[in-house]
């Protein structure tokens, strides 16, 4: 079973700090990677996607991909209480168009 693994958390950080969320995937042929944010009782919404090794920045968010280590991460700078949510990592695995999601990491930003 090809999987995406995340630490369930909760990850607790103080307001203004950097939150680091990590994800590993088992399928070396995976091509595209996505980070979704899901507030409690709501549906997932896309934050960022990354296809190439290295870093990709968008505002306070930075996605990092290391295909050799099969590792994806999401950094949130200047964390705000409104960032408190579950963050889902998803991968498009080889031979499939749909996404395979991890179980999510719950982030708590303390005011």
Partner 1 sequence: EAGVAQSPRYKIIEKRQSVAFWCNPISGHATLYWYQQILGQGPKLLIQFQNNGVVDDSQLPKDRFSAERLKGVDSTLKIQPAKLEDSAVYLCASSLVGTGRETQYFGPGTRLLVL
Residues that bind partner 1 (CB under 8 A): 4, 8, 31-32, 42-46, 49, 51, 88, 90, 92, 96-104
Q: Which is nearer to partner 1, 14 or 28 (CB)?
A: 28
| Shorter beta-carbon distance to partner 1: residue 9 or 17 | 9
26, 47 contact by CB (below 8 A): no
Q: Tell me how far, at minimum, the Cβ of 21 lies from partner 1, in Å.
A: 13
Please give, one letter per residue, the 3-state secondary structure of the chain.
Answer: CCCEEECCCCEEEECCCCEEEEEEECCCCCCEEEEEEECCCCCCEEEEEECCCEEEEECCEEEEEECCCCEEEEEECCCCHHHCEEEEEEEECCCCCCEEECCCEEEEEEC
CB of 59 to partner 1, least distance (A): 17
68/97 with CB nearer partner 1: 97
Instruction: Provide the minimum distance between the beta carbon of 103 and partner 1 in the complex, in angstroms, as a whole number.
Output: 5
Least gap, CB of 33 to partner 1 (angstroms): 10
């Amino acid at each position: 079973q090809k999987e995406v693994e995340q630490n369930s958390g909760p990850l607790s950080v103080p307001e203004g700090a950097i939150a680091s969320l990590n994800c590993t995937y088992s399928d070396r042929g995976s091509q595209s990677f996505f980070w979704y944010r899901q507030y409690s009782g709501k549906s997932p919404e896309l934050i960022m996607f990354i296809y190439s090794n290295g870093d990709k920045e968008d505002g306070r968010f930075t996605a990092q991909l290391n295909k050799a280590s099969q590792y994806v991460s999401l950094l949130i700078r200047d964390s705000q209480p409104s960032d408190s949510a579950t963050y889902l990592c998803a991968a498009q695995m080889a031979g499939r168009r749909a996404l395979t999601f991890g179980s999510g990491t719950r982030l708590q930003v303390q005011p």
